[in-house]
Amino acid sequence: MNTIINRRQFISYLIAAGFTPQLFANSPQANEYFISAQGKNAANYGITRLNKTTNKPETTLSGFRGHGLAQNPARLESLLMFSRRPGKAVIEVNIITGKTTNQFTTTNNRTLMGHGCFSHNGKLLYTTETDLTTGAGKIAVRETENYQLLTEFNSYGIGPHEIKLMPDNSTLVIANGGILTHPDSGRKKLNLDTMKSSLTYIDSKSGNKIADYFVNEPKASIRHLDVAHDGTVAIAMQVQRKAMTKNQTVALSAIHKPGEKINLLTEPATLIDKMNDYMGSVTINNQSRIAGFTSPRGNLAAFWNMETQHFAGYHRLNDVCGLSVSSDQQRFILSNSQGEIRQLNAFTLQEEKSLRQRLPGIHWDNHMLTASL
């Protein structure tokens, strides 16, 4: 008997064998979606998808403010949105239909820290969490049929935030922000005098720490990261200026290759000063080898060449934070809280103004994800 499978099933099988979604993103049959947490208040918080074919935004209400997103590499239509720190809820949405297909919450003494990632075969989910009793960072491991908790291990730091799977499909890299918070105190930072941020690599199977790395400025919190196909990590930081005794310029972005020191991107200092100690998102373009960073407080997106670590350019956009790469790797996608989307050539960094959009009533949140199905 002949078995007929569709494109999504075919890609899922190949991904389970170790291939990545990017290999198929150039297909002319692919539907590309720009997806982000969205909303201005509790009544309209949700996850919004903009299908490039229809060019109409569609929102699935969540009941909570979202933050990070993760697409299941084995079920490409499945997308998770994690609640913003210090939330407890995660929602699963079908990208094509917009229907909520699952949701779960953390246990009473755990709070989510805004991000999560899948194993390479999509069977496991890793989320950054905090033990509310001790304040220790945790990585929770769940199966992805019903999202039941299987185990957890230490993040080897405080305030773990973004987490990614390395290209070896075994190592997790975690941005331990170093800042202690507790829901009873809202978003107040409780340990600025003693905070210690780290970039930490962990074996996803054993939970053992492989290595951790630090930046020289103790008040620089490593918050967000992205991983290139060759394992190079781009890091975005937020500086706790009020806890510092000096007023010098502090680098907000960095490049790291495992086994080497963290290389700070320190120039141009005048532009870094305008970012007001805050990077909100980071993404890597694997074809142009350019890493992009956004600063909503500075109304700037800035770009560095990952090979030379030289500054490549910038783009001004009010309250810009969302940042992703198009499925064909030809453009950077930027979004902001005013519902704007801008697209920059990934090699020249010039805006393609004909693709500029502003969607009435849409308030994109911190992170943007590009999905191709």
Summarize pLDDT for 306-350 with one digit per residue, the tens: 999 999 999 999 999 999 999 999 999 999 999 999 999 999 999
**Residue 3: per-residue pLDDT:** 41
Non-local CB neighbours of 104 within 8 Å, separated by 6+ positions:
89, 90, 142, 147
The answer, yes or no, to whether residue 27 has pLDDT greater than 80, is no
Pairwise CA distance, residues 326 & 288, whole Å: 12
Pairwise CA distance, residues 97 & 345, whole Å: 30
The answer, yes or no, to whether residue 28 has pLDDT greater than 50, is no
Summarize pLDDT for 214-233 with one digit per residue, the tens: 999 999 999 999 999 999 99
Query: What is the number of alpha carbons within 13 Å of residue 325 lying toward its C-beta?
Result: 26
**Residue 186: per-residue pLDDT:** 77
DSSP 278: B
Per-residue pLDDT averaged across 32-61, rounded? 95
Summarize pLDDT for 348-371 with one digit per residue, the tens: 999 999 999 999 999 999 999 999
Is the Cβ–Cβ distance between 170 and 121 less than 8 Å?
A: no
**Residue 182: per-residue pLDDT:** 85
Per-residue pLDDT averaged across 298-308, rounded? 97
Query: What is the number of alpha carbons within 13 Å of residue 37 lying toward its C-beta?
Result: 27
Reduced to 3 DSSP states, what percent helix, strand and coil does the chain have, rounded to the nearest 5? Answer: 10, 45, 45
* Mean residue pLDDT across the chain: 92
How sure is the predictor about 198, in pLDDT bands with cuts at 50, 70 and 90? very high
| Torsion angle, alpha carbons of 341, 346, 348, 352, to 10 | -30
Per-residue pLDDT averaged across 137-152, rounded? 98
Phi, psi (rounded to 5 degrees) for 353: -65, -25
Task: Return the H-helix or E-strand segment holding 15.
Answer: helix 7-16
**Residue ranges of domains in the chain, CATH in brackets:** 7-372 (2.130.10.10)
Per-residue pLDDT averaged across 110-131, rounded? 97
How sure is the predictor about 107, in pLDDT bands with cuts at 50, 70 and 90? confident
Non-local CB neighbours of 280 within 8 Å, separated by 6+ positions:
224, 236, 294, 295, 296, 297, 321, 366
